[in-house]
Amino acid sequence: NAGVTQTPKFQVLKTGQSMTLQCAQDMNHNSMYWYRQDPGMGLRLIYYSASEGTTDKGEVPNGYNVSRLNKREFSLRLESAAPSQTSVYFCASRNRDGETQYFGPGTRLLVL
């Protein structure tokens, strides 16, 4: 039982490049989340998926797209990376509303 896994762990992009951050959970959880965390700041919700087949915007969705591929996987795509998207990205999952969220180890992204 690996919990929540994220790939890659680190990534450097040039402005304008695209990439997809992968997240998978093996706990059979219904809802999944993507957050970003800038240095010295709290987490900000980008997108979430309450259940397979649904996605919704969080606080800071601009510049991102998501796909809930199946119950296990929730990916985050940057179509045209900008330096302002330099951050640490955390994926999380939760089984039902009111239960604990479990977080992945994070993906550190640097956009030059």
Residues 32-71 that bind another protein (CB under 8 A): 33, 35, 41-45, 48, 50, 56, 58-59
CB closer to another protein out of 38 and 79: 38
CB closer to another protein out of 28 and 100: 100
Q: Are residues 49 and 55 in contact, defined by beta-carbon separation less than 8 angstroms?
A: yes
Site string for another protein, 76-105 (x = CB under 8 A): ------------x-x-x----xx-xxxxxx
Q: How many helices (H) and strands (E) does the chain have?
A: 0, 11
Minimum CB separation from another protein for residue 68, in Å?
13
Q: Are residues 107 and 11 in contact, defined by beta-carbon separation less than 8 angstroms?
A: yes
Two tokens, residue 58: 């969080």
Q: Which residues contact 10 (CB under 8 A, 6 or more apart)?
A: 107, 108, 109
Binding site for another protein (CB under 8 A): 4, 31, 33, 35, 41-45, 48, 50, 56, 58-59, 88, 90, 92, 97-98, 100-106
